[in-house]
Amino acid sequence: MAAGLATWLPFARAAAVGWLPLAQQPLPPAPGVKASRGDEVLVVNVSGRRFETWKNTLDRYPDTLLGSSEKEFFYDADSGEYFFDRDPDMFRHVLNFYRTGRLHCPRQECIQAFDEELAFYGLVPELVGDCCLEEYRDRKKENAERLAEDEEAEQTGDGPALPAGSSLRQRLWRAFENPHTSTAALVFYYVTGFFIAVSVIANVVETIPCRSSARRSSREQPCGERFPQAFFCMDTACVLIFTGEYLLRLFAAPSRCRFLRSVMSLIDVVAILPYYIGLLVPKNDDVSGAFVTLRVFRVFRIFKFSRHSQGLRILGYTLKSCASELGFLLFSLTMAIIIFATVMFYAEKGTNKTNFTSIPAAFWYTIVTMTTLGYGDMVPSTIAGKIFGSICSLSGVLVIALPVPVIVSNFSRIYHQNQRADKRRAQQKVRLARIRLAKSGTTNAFLQYKQNGGLEDSGSGEEQAVCVRNRSAFEQQHHHLLHCLEKTTCYEFTDELTFSEALGAVSLGGRTSRSTSVSSQPTGPGSLLSSCCPRRAKRRAIRLANSTASVSRGSMQELDMLAGLHRSPAPQSRSSLNAKPHDSLDLNCDSRDFVAAIISIPTPPANTPDESQPSSPGGGGRASSTLRNSSLGTPCLFPETVKISSL
């Protein structure tokens, strides 16, 4: 349910009454929101078509164009309406989103145009409702693929650039996996392909009988026995190349165990092993029979082509994924063969000189008949045998023809499904990340608002920053609510960065925790009014408590102090950018030397890219302010920075 937050805000604020008896600090005063009529009707004119809706409806989604103050840019004072020079048909869907909370995808419009409209009105494509999401994604994917194909046709298609300074191993692996990256890799790719072909052809040609032109002997030899040296040399060369390739791959593989277990490496091993076994085995007649059998495995070299052919890999994969259907086919065929072979055997038992000597012997007849081959080497002679034989051939057609379309459709379904599932999985991660990003925008809005000095008690509007003043009524009330929660619990919301820094300070010395507990506990029943309150006083208390004891501790102490103080310079310096009164600058001067040293502290590891991105205005502002202060520093700063960094 895409809740229209603005509707429920009165309820959330009312429920905050439950915090009141628990609050240990006085709660901040409510924002003076000008009492606007909640149900005024707005007119939105989109290229001449007028849409009328309540203001409340548009206010439901304050982070879009129509819900925020951005629409004031489009306000036409003469006619009293908001004018947009966009497509009115698409606007209907956008407006329905505000009304119902679900964004539907128009079937007959171009998906690109729809995307552009969404981007204009500030709606994220992830808001498309579940009913239309599948179709939206499919059409978008189609579009993207079509555009990508055009682009690829133009470019030569270079692979992603390797990071500079990658080891030989990484470069080698990349060259193996993606032959188009460099010329050497391409040459290697084609050379291995050529040698695979040569090896396979040599295996085949070896067995062709060569007519010996010199002597007219009746005995014809296969070429392999006529030119044994030539074939042996060729075989050796091929095996040397294959062995070299295998060893190089093994060296370059990022995970050697995984590489050893992969199918391609097994094929490589099977392709070259017979040769080595043949070398080791002596030329003994007993063993040479087995040795000849081993040469059969040389045909597996043809599977090495699957590295060169995408289609072969896909075929192998789909066969693997259709294993159950193939198994079913095999099972039903086996059942049928056994039944018919038994029947034929008993039908032909009476005849003498029959081919059907046993049931297994009848298997051959059944298979040949059911697959409609009909070699004719085994034929029934009795009438019963002929009748059953014809039933066998008819049912053979049925048995084989029926599961095959099932298997074929399974192939295509599984194939497409796998492709789509992989893409959807990748998209799902991105989708969730984007939604999280959009959500964290609201989280960080309050933190930024605090940093902008919005929580200062100055009542005069001139001194407050422009950005603080221009928040919508909803934002004001929401921030007031969050501020009340902070005051109830005597804790403040921060972002991950300052939290982890504070955590580091706590684990180092434990001084900050002690000092906060001193300052946060009320000293008596009557002191609830004063207690933990103003932020500055609290931090000054920490600073004093730390600095008195820091003389004895040394550099470890300074680190605590710095971490504890880190918060205090930042808001002042940021608000100083917003033309705050001059007293804040004095505080800056005091803490200048400490602020500069923060740069050399190694950053805590708990910084996820997601979090750091939305808070980058805040974080970046802080960093820039710290750098700025350091530039004002006196030369006496440097000994301090050196001291810290030597930690």
Partner 1 sequence: MGAVMGTFSSLQTKQRRPSKDKIEDELEMTMVCHRPEGLEQLEAQTNFTKRELQVLYRGFKNECPSGVVNEDTFKQIYAQFFPHGDASMYAHYLFNAFDTTQTGSVKFEDFVTALSILLRGTVHEKLRWTFNLYDINKDGYINKEEMMDIVKAIYDMMGKYTYPVLKEDTPRQHVDVFFQKMDKNKDGIVTLDEFLESCQEDDNIMRSLQLFQNVM
Return d(Cα 208, Cα 223) in angstroms, integer: 6
**What burial letters (b/e) apply to 552-561, b meaning 16+ CB within 10 Å?**
eeeeebbbbb
Segment interacting with partner 1 (CB under 8 A) among 145-153, 314-322, 486-494, 578-586:
486-494
- Residue 15 engages partner 1 in binding (rule: CB under 8 A): yes
- Residue 80 engages partner 1 in binding (rule: CB under 8 A): no
Residue among 229 and 507 whose Cβ is closer to partner 1: 507
Residue among 16 and 312 whose Cβ is closer to partner 1: 16
- Residue 8 engages partner 1 in binding (rule: CB under 8 A): yes
| Contacting partner 1 within 593-612 (CB under 8 A) | none
Q: How far is CA 3 from CA 38, 62, 323, 475, 502, in A?
A: 18, 12, 47, 16, 35
Sole binder of partner 1 in the list 39, 149, 158, 285 (CB under 8 A): 39
Sole binder of partner 1 in the list 147, 279, 467, 529 (CB under 8 A): 529
Q: How far is the CB of 544 from partner 1 (least distance, A)?
A: 16
Q: How many residues does the chain have?
A: 647
Q: Is the dihedral of CA 146, 152, 158, 161 positive or negative?
A: negative
Sole binder of partner 1 in the list 23, 237, 273, 361 (CB under 8 A): 23
The sheet that has 49-54: what strands, in order across it?
49-54, 41-46, 81-84, 75-76
The site that binds partner 1 (CB under 8 A) totals a number of residues, namely 75
Torsion angle defined by CA atoms of residues 583, 587, 592 and 593, in that order, rounded to the nearest 10 degrees: 150
Sole binder of partner 1 in the list 243, 265, 318, 332 (CB under 8 A): 332
CB 13 within 8 A of CB 485: no
CB 191 within 8 A of CB 273: no
Segment interacting with partner 1 (CB under 8 A) among 3-11, 216-224, 239-247, 310-318:
3-11
| Contacting partner 1 within 417-476 (CB under 8 A) | 439-440, 442-443
Please give the structure tokens belonging to residue 511: 């001084």
Return d(Cα 587, Cα 94) in angstroms, integer: 49
| Contacting partner 1 within 367-406 (CB under 8 A) | 395, 398-399, 402
For residue 25, what is the DSSP state? S
Is residue 514 exposed (0-12), middle (13-18) or buried (19+ Cβ within 10 Å)? middle
Q: How far is CA 251 from CA 168, 246, 258, 263, 329, in A?
A: 10, 9, 13, 17, 43
CB 588 within 8 A of CB 596: no
Please give the structure tokens belonging to residue 559: 């680190």
Q: How far is the CB of 304 from partner 1 (least distance, A)?
A: 39
Q: How far is the CB of 163 from partner 1 (least distance, A)?
A: 33
Sole binder of partner 1 in the list 243, 262, 265, 494 (CB under 8 A): 494
Three-state DSSP at 369 gives helix
Give the list of residues 6+ apart from residue 480 with CB closer than 8 angstroms, or none: 13, 28, 30, 31
Residue among 167 and 517 whose Cβ is closer to partner 1: 517
Q: How far is the CB of 476 from partner 1 (least distance, A)?
A: 12
Please give the structure tokens belonging to residue 442: 């609201």
- Residue 261 engages partner 1 in binding (rule: CB under 8 A): no
Q: How far is the CB of 56 from partner 1 (least distance, A)?
A: 7
Sole binder of partner 1 in the list 234, 502, 562, 597 (CB under 8 A): 502
Sole binder of partner 1 in the list 157, 459, 525, 635 (CB under 8 A): 525
- Residue 312 engages partner 1 in binding (rule: CB under 8 A): no
Three-state DSSP at 54 gives strand
Please give the structure tokens belonging to residue 312: 């072969």
Q: How far is the CB of 125 from partner 1 (least distance, A)?
A: 20
Work out the end-to-end distance of the chain between its first and last CA atoms, rounded to an integer number of angstroms.
52
- Residue 521 engages partner 1 in binding (rule: CB under 8 A): yes
490's torsion region: left (phi>0), alpha (psi -120 to 50) or beta? left
Q: How far is CA 212 from CA 202, 225, 226, 626, in A?
A: 19, 11, 8, 92
- Residue 16 engages partner 1 in binding (rule: CB under 8 A): yes
- Residue 493 engages partner 1 in binding (rule: CB under 8 A): yes
- Residue 56 engages partner 1 in binding (rule: CB under 8 A): yes
Dump the DSSP string for 190-235: HHHHHHHHHHHHHHHHTTSEEPPSSS--S--EEHHHHSHHHHHHHH
Per-residue x/- mask for partner 1, residues 561 to 600, rule CB under 8 A? ------x---------------------------------
Sole binder of partner 1 in the list 87, 348, 456, 495 (CB under 8 A): 495
- Residue 528 engages partner 1 in binding (rule: CB under 8 A): yes
Residue among 366 and 488 whose Cβ is closer to partner 1: 488
Segment interacting with partner 1 (CB under 8 A) among 32-40, 83-91, 113-121, 412-420:
32-40
Sole binder of partner 1 in the list 10, 244, 350, 620 (CB under 8 A): 10
Residue among 376 and 405 whose Cβ is closer to partner 1: 405
- Residue 41 engages partner 1 in binding (rule: CB under 8 A): no
Segment interacting with partner 1 (CB under 8 A) among 33-41, 235-243, 271-279, 552-560:
33-41
- Residue 126 engages partner 1 in binding (rule: CB under 8 A): no
Segment interacting with partner 1 (CB under 8 A) among 11-19, 140-148, 307-315, 467-475:
11-19
